[in-house]
A and B are shown apart, each in its own frame.
Chain A
């Protein structure tokens, strides 16, 4: 029996290996960006993000372990009278030339260094220097030992996120500049106002919200009316108009952008939120109508007949029956449209240059030389938070929308 079970488990092993491997490949790139966004600029430049998982050997650790750890212990706490993890005890030893005299201290009745050796050591300058050089990493490590929090904290920081939010592009960090008073030629006020800096991600985040929310509601509203007509009203051209709608779904954005941009500049709508709302509404409609009509058309006919016999007209049937019943379809649609508009670059780059949205702002941050990964990773993650939450919270509706046949401009 047991051999059979073992065989079955072993037989399934390749399956698990492939699935886990694929999941890893899909997860690791995003994980790397996430971790990098919390590392200091210095750390990002010097080492890959994966090194945070490897226990870093702090400078001086090796020397300390060779010379001192046998008595003082790996964390310096083995001898209570000479506790090397105590900042007060160590404060005097942080330089090698201060540490050297300490070697005269007795260890179990004997000094660290025997008298004869000590004399030779201090009388020959070249040997003194050698000893100091050898001690210097140890004294540096004592500093780390006595203050482990600072050592650990130095690699991780929130300043990338803050810098990205306010749009700080200097060589230090926004907080440092504000603390030392070097506010970049009056560009920053060092208060909450900086969040509105047009070059910052906070402002772009706000712009993205301002673009996305109306651009999600409007098409669904118009589509609901039209879908009701296609599903439950009779008019000439119903069939071919609906077929045309399926065709319109596939018209690429590229076909419509320039004429609309021209039209907007004549109407004074260039770089306006109203302009981009209307554009996204126009582009969202074909698919929205298609999906809602299929949903409404699938509702039982008896429902509509009975509400009519109760004295309702189409107007009440739409509001009291069709709309409440189509909540699941509207939910799928809303998520679809939300993600689509939030993640769009092309429309925003052409119709809304004056109010950069997140995607556009990120492209402005890219440094061809690759010198600002700390900033870029934080900015990229800022743009991904909202869609990821929406996606994970409403995944069910999103999948339903996909299965209803999503092909969109």
Chain B
């Protein structure tokens, strides 16, 4: 696809590439390698990680930080939570986005409705966390609640709930997931909506003429046709969820059973660098499989060009 008649000097391409390549090497490639080597070092990076081992306790030698990352109780909780996040918020965001894409397609105020659902994408996770912290707020022992959710519950005659601190029935985790769905449903909706509009109307009309109900049209025709896009959106959401940090950091700081991997990593960044880096490596190890799927998809796209 490069026009052959355009001459180029031997170094011309490198002149164009140099700046970007140097910056990416310094800021992505080098630190990624360094993070890996630091994960084998101790708290301060001065010695091998085996220096942190305690006599009489289990020790994995220079992989001591990985022993923490893979076996510690709090890390296991974080891993379990990230798994739950994926299992519940990925279908939640994709499902809500898909539902909204299908439904708004049929109303006249489509644009304004979509803009409102999409708007949370513009604000920071920190801003969204404040917005929702206020919704979940509990004024302990007060008769009149100023948090909307508890006010509704009290008005209906119930007892106010500590949405963000109560680990019972993983209420606090569910509260965080709702914020996440609120934030990302618009993203899923936008991409899926574009895919839906690409489904040829003739096919839809033909099946309607043949007597298919709207329900059947959706499940038998629309959904199979946009399935590749659904996969793309879902993999993107998996990667995003694996990295979830800001919301947990601001709303619960990982307390009462809401810990996640990225927040653990942040907690140790100053106090125990080796551990922090081992957790970061664990994070990328979880992301790589998803990344491979993405690269495959990219190759397929390129092949179709």
Q: With an 8 A cutoff between CB atoms, is A390 at the interface?
A: yes
**In-complex Cβ contact of A258 among B27, B100, B273 (8 A):** B273
Contact between B107 and A26, CB atoms less than 8 A apart = no
Is A235 interfacial (CB-CB < 8 Å)?
A: yes
| A 347-376 to B, binary, CB cutoff 8 A, 1 in contact else 0 | 000100000001100110010001001001
Measured CA separation A89–B19 after assembly (Å):
79
Q: Would you list which residues of chain A between 289 and 316 have a CB under 8 Å from chain B?
A: 289, 297, 301, 304-305, 308-309, 313-314
Q: Does A346 contact B (CB under 8 A)?
A: yes
Let me know if A251 and B32 touch, CB within 8 A. Answer: yes
Bound: A50/B146 CA distance, A: 9
Report B14 CB to chain A, min CB distance, Å.
7
Q: Place the interface of chain A in its size category.
A: 35 or more
A235 touches B131 (CB 8 A): no
Please indicate the chain B residues that have their CB under 8 angstroms from the CB of A179 in the complex.
none
**A281 B284 Cβ-Cβ under 8 A:** no
Residue of A19, A252, A304, A383 near B104 (CB, 8 A) is A19
A405 to B281, CA, bound (A): 25
Q: Which of A318-372 contact B (CB under 8 A)?
A: 318, 339, 342-346, 350, 358-359, 362-363, 366, 370
- Given A15-B103, A258-B273, A391-B119; A48-B3 close (CB under 8 Å): no
| CB–CB B117/A235 < 8 A | no
State whether A29 and B132 are in contact (beta carbons under 8 Å apart), knowing that A258-B273, A384-B127 are contacts in the complex: yes
Contact status B23-A26, CB under 8 Å: no
Task: From B133, B144, B245, give the contact of A46 (CB < 8 A).
Answer: B144
**A11 → chain B closest CB, angstroms:** 10
The answer to whether B30 and A289 touch across the interface, beta carbons within 8 angstroms, is no
Q: Which of B112-158 contact A (CB under 8 A)?
A: 113, 115-127, 130-135, 137, 139, 144-148, 151
Is A359 in contact with B290, judged by CB distance below 8 angstroms? Answer: no
Which residues of A361-401 are within 8 A (CB) of B? 362-363, 366, 370, 373, 376-377, 379-380, 383-384, 387-388, 390-392, 395, 398-399
Once the chains are docked, how many angstroms separate the CA of A278 from the CA of B19?
A: 12
Which residue of B45, B106, B281, B284 contacts A15 across the interface (Cβ within 8 Å)?
B106
Interface contact B130-A362, CB-CB below 8 Å: yes
Contact of B121 among A229, A254, A346, A391 (CB under 8 A): A391
Q: Does B54 contact A (CB under 8 A)?
A: no
Q: In terms of DSSP, what is the predominant structure of the interface of chain B?
A: helix
Closest B residue by C-beta to A30: B131
On whether the beta carbons of A250 and B280 are closer than 8 Å, the reply is: no
Please indicate the chain A residues that have their CB under 8 angstroms from the CB of B243 in the complex: 252-254
Contacts of A44 on B, CB cut-off 8 Å?
Answer: 146
In the complex, A45→B23 CA distance in Å?
50
Residues on A close to B: CB < 8 A?
A: 12, 15-16, 18-19, 22-23, 25-30, 32-33, 36, 44-50, 222-223, 225-226, 228-229, 232-235, 243, 246-248, 250-260, 262-263, 278-279, 281-283, 285-286, 289, 297, 301, 304-305, 308-309, 313-314, 317-318, 339, 342-346, 350, 358-359, 362-363, 366, 370, 373, 376-377, 379-380, 383-384, 387-388, 390-392, 395, 398-399, 402-403, 405-407
A-B complex: 10 closest residue pairs judged by Cβ atoms: A282-B27, A391-B122, A343-B124, A226-B20, A256-B31, A259-B34, A259-B31, A229-B16, A235-B13, A380-B130
CB<8 Å pairs between A and B, sample of 12: A16-B107, A23-B113, A26-B185, A30-B119, A48-B144, A48-B145, A48-B148, A256-B31, A259-B34, A339-B121, A387-B124, A399-B194
